[in-house]
Amino acid sequence: MIDAFFSALSGMRTASRRLQVSANNTANLQTPGFKKSSTVISDNRLGGARVSGTLRSNAPGAILTTNDPLNIAIQGNGFFQVGQPGGGTAFSRSGVFQTDDTGRVVNANGNPLQPEITVPVNIESVGITASGQVTGFANGQNITLGQIQLAGFNNPGGLTPLGNNEFGQSAQSGQPVVGNPGSGGLGLLIPGALETSNVDIAEEAINQIVAKTAFKANANVVRTADEMTGTLLNIKA
């Protein structure tokens, strides 16, 4: 009976974790650049199941045209580099950028794009090429403002989630390889557009149904084992 309890409880834990991951995916259905995760479930040596880890899918999301010059999608491999308040660099696929009070190009969290690019107040419009060159138009002429660079990783799935749609490098991801878009296997930029989340709502609905069914089935096993244990104790009494 103890083995049955253990196996069923472990099944309830894995179902709960699977539902948690699916719920997080669903909540980020509309988060630009978000990458969905899935649970990896394996068996225990002494019976039952456990979640041995989560895998993040780096499949591209659909491209949504916004016509905002500081919305940038990456078509292909690579991550934007953004500075962190405490120092260091984080990486993100979200291309929602804007200018702060000083004219710096920052992301939705207020963290500056790296290398930093500043848009002077006299700039009338901003243009970004597929290879990352940023120019501004003022007084009838184009002015070079900077160059966007992307970072690539041998194992992007090994990046550490930092929250706010940003990631940090880890031993699993390896060191970043930085370069201009379109070079060294890095993707090209699509200005005036955003990469949407790669979450499939139909797939998540199925995952949640499976998790709910598994949880209920294992709960039934716990109740049955409890009833059988009670019967044995009554017989002994």
- Give mean pLDDT in consecutive 10-residue pieces for the chain, a chain of 237 residues: 83 96 96 95 89 92 96 97 94 96 95 96 95 95 96 94 94 96 97 97 96 95 80 68
User: Domains of the chain: which residue ranges?
Assistant: 2-57+199-236, 63-195
Q: What is the pLDDT of residue 237?
A: 58
Place of tokens 């059988």: 228
Q: What is the pLDDT of residue 150?
A: 98
Q: What is the pLDDT of residue 174?
A: 94
Residue 119 to residue 144: CA distance in whole angstroms? 10
Residue 186: CB atoms within 10 A of its CB come to 23
Structure tokens at 106: 């920052």
Structural contact between residues 94 and 165, judged by C-beta atoms closer than 8 angstroms: yes
Structure tokens at 32: 């630009």
Model pTM score? 0.86
The per-residue b/e assignment along 89-109, b for 16 or more CB within 10 angstroms, e otherwise, is: bbbbbbbbbebeeeebbbbeb
